[in-house]
Structure formats: structure tokens, C-alpha cells
């Protein structure tokens, strides 16, 4: 990737290739030292590329791993405890749908607030405080004894968790140059697959057991699913603390607010961490004034407090200022892209997160059919998924509190699920991880847009094929392909947003995009129990059709895959 700064006669022009900065002098001279004497101002892409790629970027990836696992835990732990907690909390299928959906309800109600705060107050504090507070409320979930209290705590943790996730994706993209950006965003997506491996592995180790810690008999007892929730709160707490210990504010955000001196300090620090050289050896000596370049009055946006530039807007005035951020999104050239991105993400997350969160329950149906109904079904072959769903009286009546399959009489509620439930979800997680590795090797070649289009169409076909699944192995295979490609495509969409929108709108756009996706996920999890009660055909064909529609909609998005961040 070559980025040239506008240079006067005999001044240095910069050619940036990932972490290597090569210098050529117009007029025939060459050498790195001449850069020190150039008075030209560098833009963000030149400045971040000059910092190199090394230890600091590894720190970002390590912290991103904790944060991604925390985000997966926030939205997914409930799905894993449902087979185990259904007896303790007397859960119906409708209750299970509510628990799966409530986290997304919290995220939806806070999407605009977090997007505004991140684009106004910065990235680092939102990341740190957000993940720590999320972890605290996840701990609270681990002590709940009644359904309604678990519902309340999951809503609050979802409300808080919305902000840090959107900020994380913007933060990572703003700390990498053009060549590394797409691959790094995809690497962060890979960490979500790692989370989808770690979570079922932990569930496999804990939930099939019958552990009980009694504080007050029959009133305050912790079972295996409580312990599982407590352990799953750890990544949020650790990730939030590491943000404050190891990460600075985003220099791109600081430049967009006219705080170039602070941004330069951070660029030099990153350069020192990546190269081991003295901060004074950092080749960039001056940064462009993005506010002046865009015609924005610095004084109108900020004031100086204790030597730092901070936003003037406070209270209701700050919220009014935040509302003004939406206005450019409703005008050209951003309106068309916004509508497309929002609609595609709505369908993708409705399909992917609904299917993903109901997989443990589907595998629980298969396992319980094998143990309870096998002796009542005279057949030389394994039952198909549709036969298992049709045989489930709990699916036909969403008010039953436990699964009854293949028999006319009620059976005792089973609070200890079979280990195969989590083994199957572990396989799905491993396939997703491998899928991200393959996608990471080809994304720079085919681009985020093409990857998303092909992936969504293939994911839709895989989801639809579940209607024809004739055994457990084929269910696991189709579910693995569907979840892997759906997750990859969701991450590719976030990578596209980083290139489609300028800094002042980026986190707001990501937050609103995820909000539409979460509206879809919420609706999907509420509706899925009713679709399931209608039989095998409606749920899987609906999910597959929405995936395919999202892929076809991606054809309307711009084809550019590598452009400088604005």
C-alpha cells in the first residue's frame, strides 16, 4: 500500500508498506534521516503505519480475546444453562425465549447512548468501565434464585455490554493501518469463535454435574448452572482491567477532536513499544489538523481543562449534540449505505443468533429423545430431526416446563443434561474457528463484501438443509457450517463499516447497525418457540431464507475494500 503526502520541492515523500517506512527524496537523494527535516504534516494512515507492528498490537489482540469471550458469554450463557436450569426455575419454552432475548433488549435500549458517548468522550473509558460493570452484573446473575430476577440482571448486563463491544471494533480498526486492518478485524472475529469453543468446553465440564452449594436450604442454593455463570463473568472483569492497564485512547479519535498533541504522544508510545526505539526516533513530527481540514471550528467543539481538550457539551446539551450525529447518516452519501447495512444486519443476526442460541435446546431434544423415547420407537434407523421435533410434546405446547418426547405420559423433569449436548456445540465452535482461519487467509484477496455475500448464501442453504437432516451427525454438520459462515459474515460487515463511514460516524454507525441486528435477534428468539411449535419446516426455512436474502442484499454495497480511514 503506497500513501504519498503532498510535498514541496526537495521535501520528503513517504511510501508506507505496513510497518516499514521507506523514504525517497524528490531530486535524487534517499535516506531515512531526511524525514526529520520535513515540515509536511502526516495524516492518520501515515502516522499509524509509521508506528510499525509489534508488541502493542499483540497487547490489543490479547485484550480483544478477553473482550470477545466476554461478549460471547454475555449473549450465550443463558442458552447453555436452559436445559440445566429449567427445573429449578420452572421454565416454559416461552420463558426460555424471553431469557435468550432479554440481553438483546438491553442492548437495543442503550445502542444510541453508547454510540454517542464513544464518539464524544472517547473509546478507552467506555471499554474499561463497560466490561467491568458487565462482569459485576454477570456475577449477580450467578446468585439468582428466581426467573424474574435473572431476567432483570440479564437486561441490565445487556444494557451495559452494548457499548464496549461496538467501541472494541472501532478501537481495533483505528489502531491499525490499511494493510493490517481487514485481517485484524477478522482476527478479532476469530476470537469470537474461540469464545464459542471455550464456552461449551466449560459448560461440558460443569453443567452435566449435580453440584450443589447450600446457604439456606430450599431458599438459597447454588447449583451447577449458578457456578457456570459465576465462572463466565471472569473474562469481562479481566478484560476491563487490562484495558486500563495496557491501552491508551484511540489516536484517531483524538485527531478527530483536534487533540493532535495527545495523539502524537500515543503514536510515539506505540512506536516505542513496537520497535524498541526511543520515542524521539518516531519519524512523524507533525499531524494534520482534521478539524481544520474538514472546516470544523475546534473551539466550538472543545474547551481546555487541566491542559486537555474536552467536549463542551454536557447533560441534555450533550444528548442534543449526540442526536445531531444521526443527521449526516440521513443524507447522501451515507443514507443508502446505512439502510443497506441496517437491513442486512437485521436479517443476519436474527437468523444467526436465533439459531445459535437454540442449538443447545435442539441438541437437548435429540439427547433426551435417545434416552427417554428410544425404547418406545420401533425402528432400525436413527430418527430424523423433524421426527424428534414432531415427537416432542413440549414443542407442541409451549407452556410445558420440561421436555417430554415420544411418550404419552409425563416424565420427571431432568435437570442434569447429557454431556453430548455440549459436545455437539463444542464441535460447532471448533468448525467456526477453523472457518475464521480460512477466511483470514482469503479476505485480502476477495474482500469483505464478496466474503459476506458468498458466506450468507452458503449459510442459508445449510440452515435450510436441516429440514432434510436424517441423523444427529448431519444436524451437527449443517449447524456447524451455518453458524461458522453466519458469524464470519457478521464480522465482515463490521469491517465494511470501518471503510464506509468517517470517524465521526463510525462508532455511531456500528452501534446502530448492531442495534438493528439485535432487534432481529430479539424478535427471532421470541418467535422461534412458536415456529418450533408449528413443526420442523417453518423455523429452519425461515432462518435459511433470511440468510440468503442478506447475501443478495450485499450485492448492492460498494465494492471498495481498502480505503484510508476518514
Walk along the chain (566 residues) and give the pLDDT tens digit of each residue: 334 444 443 333 333 333 333 333 333 343 444 444 444 678 888 888 888 888 888 888 999 999 999 988 998 999 999 888 888 888 888 899 999 999 989 888 886 777 677 777 778 888 999 999 999 999 999 999 899 999 999 999 989 988 887 788 778 888 887 777 778 877 887 787 788 889 999 999 999 888 878 887 777 888 899 999 999 999 999 999 999 998 888 888 888 888 888 888 888 888 888 888 888 888 888 888 877 766 555 444 444 434 444 444 444 555 565 566 666 667 777 777 788 888 998 999 899 989 999 998 888 888 877 766 555 555 556 677 887 877 765 555 555 555 545 444 445 566 677 888 899 999 998 998 888 888 878 877 887 788 888 999 999 999 999 888 888 888 999 999 999 898 888 878 877 777 777 766 766 777 778 778 889 999 999 999 888 888 788 899 999 999 999 989 888 887 754 555 55
Give the DSSP H or E segment for 363.
helix 334-368
73 with 142, same domain: the answer is: yes
Task: Determine whether 39 is exposed, middle or buried from the number of CB atoms within 10 Å of its CB (0-12, 13-18, 19+).
Answer: exposed
Same domain flag for 334 and 278: no
Domain boundary pick from 263, 290, 317: 290
Q: What local confidence, expressed as pLDDT, does residue 10 receive?
A: 35
Region for residue 6 given its phi and psi (left: phi exceeds 0; alpha: psi -120 to 50; beta: otherwise): beta
354 and 448 fall within a common domain: yes
Per-residue confidence (pLDDT) for residue 372, from 0 to 100: 60
3-state class (DSSP) for residue 15: strand
Shared-domain flag, residues 421 and 274: no
**Domain presence at residue 466:** yes
Beta bridge partner(s), residue 14: 23
Domain limit, last residue, from 290, 314, 339: 290
Q: Are residues 192 and 246 in the same domain?
A: yes
Rounded CA-CA distance 48/264 in Å is 10
Largest CA distance in the chain: 91
Closest listed residue to residue 35, CA positions, set 292, 289, 280, 290:
280
Residue with cell 434416552: 371
Q: How far is it, in rounded angstroms, from Cα 303 to Cα 428?
A: 51
Q: What is the pTM of this model?
A: 0.75
Q: Is residue 122 in some structural domain?
A: yes
DSSP letter at 41 equals P
Shared domain check, 214 and 76: yes
Phi, psi of 421 (to 5 degrees): -60, -45
CB atoms within 10 A of CB 51: 28
**Residue 173's CB: how many other CB atoms inside 10 A?**
26
- Predicted pLDDT of residue 36: 44
Contacts for 320 with CB less than 8 Å, ≥ 6 apart: 313
Q: Is residue 73 part of a domain?
A: yes
- Give the Cα separation of 324 and 45 in Å (integer): 27
How many structural domains are present in the chain? 2
Q: Are residues 164 and 64 in the same domain?
A: yes
Alpha helices in 207-333 (DSSP H): 224-232, 234-246, 251-256, 260-275, 290-294, 298-301, 315-324
184 and 268 assigned to the same domain:
yes
Cα distance between residue 269 and residue 239, in whole Å: 21
Asked whether residue 308 is domain-assigned, the answer is: no
Residues 185 and 73 in one domain: yes
Residues 282 and 331 in one domain: no
Cα distance between residue 436 and residue 417, in whole Å: 30
The two beta strands, 12-17 and 20-25, are antiparallel
Residue 339: give its domain's CATH number: 1.20.1250.20
- Enumerate residues 6+ apart whose C-beta is below 8 A from 498: 169, 170, 173, 181, 185, 506, 565
* Domain-embedded: residue 404: no
State residue 323's pLDDT score: 63
Evaluate the omega torsion of the peptide bond into residue 541 and state whether it is cis, within 30 degrees of 0. Answer: no
494 and 357, same domain (yes or no) = yes
The grid coordinates of residue 402 equal: 420440561
Does residue 357 share a domain with residue 488?
A: yes
Which domain-ending residue is among 239, 264, 290?
Answer: 290
Is residue 135 in a domain? Answer: yes
Give a yes or no: residue 474 inside a domain.
yes
56's enclosing H/E stretch is helix 55-85
Is 333 within the bounds of a domain?
A: yes
Task: Look at residue 321 in the predicted model and tell me its pLDDT.
Answer: 59
> What CA–CA distance (Å, rounded) separates 291 from 495?
25
Write the burial class of residue 231 (CB in 10 Å: 0-12 exposed, 13-18 middle, 19+ buried).
Answer: middle
For residues 352-361, one letter each, b for 16 or more C-beta atoms within 10 angstroms of the residue's C-beta and e for the rest, the string is bbbbbbbbbb
Paired residues of 180 in beta bridges: none
> What secondary structure letter does DSSP report for 54?
S
Instruction: Supply the pLDDT for residue 504.
Output: 66
DSSP-assigned states of every residue in 156-225: HHHHHHHHHHHHHHHHHHTTS-HHHHHHHHHHHHHHHHHHHHHHHHHHHHHTTS--EEEEETTTEEEEHH
- Measure the CA–CA gap between 358 and 81, rounded to whole angstroms: 11
Please classify residue 30 by burial: count the beta carbons closer than 10 Å to its beta carbon, then call 0-12 exposed, 13-18 middle and 19+ buried: exposed
Range of the domain at 344: 326-373+383-391+417-560
Amino acid at each position: 500500500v503506497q500513501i504519498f503526502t503532498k510535498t514541496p520541492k526537495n521535501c520528503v515523500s513517504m511510501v508506507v508498506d505496513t510497518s516499514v517506512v521507506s523514504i525517497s527524496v524528490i531530486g535524487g537523494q534517499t535516506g531515512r534521516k531526511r524525514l526529520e527535516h520535513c515540515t509536511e504534516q502526516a495524516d492518520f494512515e501515515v502516522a499509524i503505519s509509521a508506528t510499525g507492528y509489534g508488541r502493542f498490537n499483540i497487547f490489543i489482540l490479547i485484550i480483544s480475546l478477553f473482550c470477545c469471550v466476554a461478549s460471547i458469554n454475555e449473549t450465550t450463557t443463558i442458552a447453555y444453562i436452559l436445559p440445566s436450569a429449567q427445573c429449578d426455575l420452572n421454565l416454559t419454552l416461552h420463558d426460555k425465549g424471553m431469557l435468550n432475548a432479554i440481553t438483546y433488549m438491553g442492548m437495543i435500549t442503550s445502542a444510541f447512548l453508547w454510540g454517542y458517548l464513544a464518539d464524544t468522550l472517547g473509546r478507552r473509558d467506555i471499554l474499561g468501565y463497560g466490561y467491568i460493570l458487565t462482569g459485576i452484573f454477570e456475577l449477580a446473575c450467578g446468585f439468582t434464585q428466581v426467573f424474574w430476577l435473572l431476567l432483570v440482571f440479564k437486561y441490565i448486563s445487556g444494557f451495559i455490554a452494548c457499548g464496549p463491544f461496538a467501541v472494541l471494533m472501532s478501537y481495533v480498526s483505528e489502531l491499525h493501518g490499511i494493510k493490517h486492518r481487514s485481517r485484524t478485524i477478522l482476527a478479532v472475529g476469530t476470537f469470537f469463535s474461540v469464545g464459542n469453543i471455550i464456552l461449551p468446553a466449560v459448560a461440558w465440564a460443569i453443567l452435566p454435574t449435580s453440584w450443589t452449594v447450600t446457604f439456606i436450604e430450599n431458599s438459597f442454593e447454588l447449583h451447577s448452572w449458578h457456578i457456570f455463570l459465576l465462572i463466565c463473568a471472569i473474562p469481562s472483569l479481566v478484560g476491563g482491567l487490562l484495558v486500563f492497564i495496557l491501552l491508551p485512547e484511540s489516536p484517531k479519535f483524538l485527531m478527530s477532536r483536534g487533540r493532535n498533541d495527545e495523539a502524537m504522544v500515543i503514536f510515539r508510545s506505540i512506536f516505542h513499544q513496537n520497535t524498541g526505539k526511543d520515542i524521539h526516533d518516531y519519524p512523524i513530527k507533525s499531524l494534520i489538523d482534521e478539524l481544520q481540514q474538514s472546516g470544523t471550528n475546534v473551539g466550538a467543539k472543545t474547551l481546555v481543562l487541566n491542559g486537555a481538550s474536552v467536549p463542551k457539551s454536557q447533560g441534555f446539551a450533550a444528548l442534543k449534540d449526540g442526536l445531531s450525529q444521526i443527521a449526516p447518516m440521513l443524507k447522501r452519501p451515507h443514507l443508502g449505505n446505512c439502510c443497506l447495512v441496517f437491513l442486512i444486519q437485521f436479517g443476519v443476526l436474527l437468523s444467526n443468533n436465533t439459531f445459535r442460541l437454540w442449538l443447545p435446546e435442539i441438541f437437548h431434544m435429540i439427547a433426551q429423545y435417545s434416552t427417554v423415547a428410544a425404547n418406545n420407537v420401533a425402528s432400525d434407523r436413527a430418527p430424523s430431526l423433524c421426527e424428534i421435533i414432531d415427537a416432542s410434546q413440549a414443542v407442541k405446547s409451549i407452556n410445558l416446563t420440561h421436555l417430554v418426547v415420544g411418550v404419552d405420559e409425563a416424565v420427571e423433569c431432568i435437570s442434569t443434561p447429557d454431556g453430548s449436548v455440549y459436545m455437539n456445540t463444542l464441535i460447532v465452535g471448533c468448525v467456526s474457528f477453523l472457518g475464521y482461519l480460512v477466511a483470514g487467509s482469503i479476505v485480502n484477496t476477495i474482500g469483505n463484501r464478496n466474503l459476506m455475500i458468498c458466506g450468507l448464501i452458503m449459510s442459508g442453504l445449510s440452515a435450510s438443509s436441516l429440514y432434510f437432516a436424517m441423523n444427529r451427525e448431519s444436524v451437527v454438520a449443517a449447524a456447524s457450517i451455518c453458524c461458522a459462515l453466519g458469524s464470519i459474515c457478521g464480522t465482515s460487515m463490521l469491517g465494511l463499516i470501518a471503510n464506509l463511514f468517517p470517524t465521526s460516524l463510525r462508532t455511531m454507525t456500528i452501534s446502530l447497525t448492531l442495534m438493528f441486528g439485535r432487534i432481529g435477534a430479539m424478535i427471532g428468539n421470541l418467535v422461534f418457540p412458536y415456529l418450533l411449535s408449528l413443526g420442523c419446516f417453518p423455523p429452519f426455512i425461515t432462518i435459511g431464507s433470511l440468510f440468503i436474502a442478506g447475501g443478495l442484499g450485499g450485492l448492492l454495497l460498494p465494492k471498495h475494500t481498502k480505503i484510508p480511514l476518514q
